Structure 1
Amino acid sequence: MLVGVISDTHGLLRPEAVTALAGVEHILHAGDVGDARILDALRGIAPVTAIRGNIDHGGKCAELPATDVVELQGRLFYLVHSVTDLDINPVVAGVAAVVSGHSHKPSVEVRDGVMYLNPGSAGPRRFNLPVTVALMTVGESGVDARIVELL
């Protein structure tokens, strides 16, 4: 299963992000959506699981949960906007991957058998960081992820 991961759109869904996510079977949005129409557009590509971030304090984005868990291909994915707010022990909970955003810094790291994935920011460029999303492959052998630079 191919899963698209996006975060920190801050009200901007770039055409390059839409292109990068084409063909995925599910999309995870790790917060700071900025405009609910972004989630509507992403739902045109695949089903979406989304959480709110620290800028999502008005409208429909404010109604998103602060954290969420989704099961894909028999594996659990835990979404939290800032990894510093992680409120579970992912090893004990049997989580395959913790998906976060907030820092705008893309990263893929495995600790204690759990993947920690931050797709970076797909919205307005900030702090001279790259504009990115991530693609995850979920299968019988596990979870693999790669960062995709958009610009």
Structure 2
Amino acid sequence: MTIPKNTVCLWFDGTALEAAQFYAATFADSAVGAVQLAPADYPSGRQGDVLTVCFTVLGMACLGLNGGPVFPQTEAFSFQVATDDQAETDRLWQAIVDNGGQASACGWCKDRWGVSWQITPRALTEALADPDRAAARRAFEAMMQMGKIDIAAIDAARRG
């Protein structure tokens, strides 16, 4: 087993394998790798319980640690996923929200494990970087009114 130089470690309360399997089924270039069982009892589990799960999300190396309820997920960490079109934006947003997740504002949502996701169409990123600062402002103001990002509405706002 090759261990990556840098890995994102996500803390779960006993559900790391379930989360990794969902991510692998939902996102391209994602997979579940090694599952390590606890060699002895620990504060939040027993010998033989799933302790860690190696997985990738969109090619990014991650480790799910079943550390217990002490450190819940917060919006201070999120995955930002650049989508190519409205269909991809809708599919990923719905996969997260419709499977026990929660919608939020400006393209953010949270999965059922509390991990935050920014489902961000490339069209939004381009609109916010528009050298015409008035167009960028209109796109930004439109985004601020949205939950899931509506690319057509962003494009319309950008055009004025």
TM-score greater than 0.5 by the shorter chain: no
State which structure, 1 or 2, has the greater radius of gyration over its C-alpha atoms: 2
Question: Using CA pairs below 8 Å that are at least 6 residues apart, which structure has the higher relative contact order?
Answer: 1
Structure with bigger helix share is 2
| TM-score between both structures, scaled by the size of structure 1 | 0.29
| TM-score between both structures, scaled by the size of structure 2 | 0.28
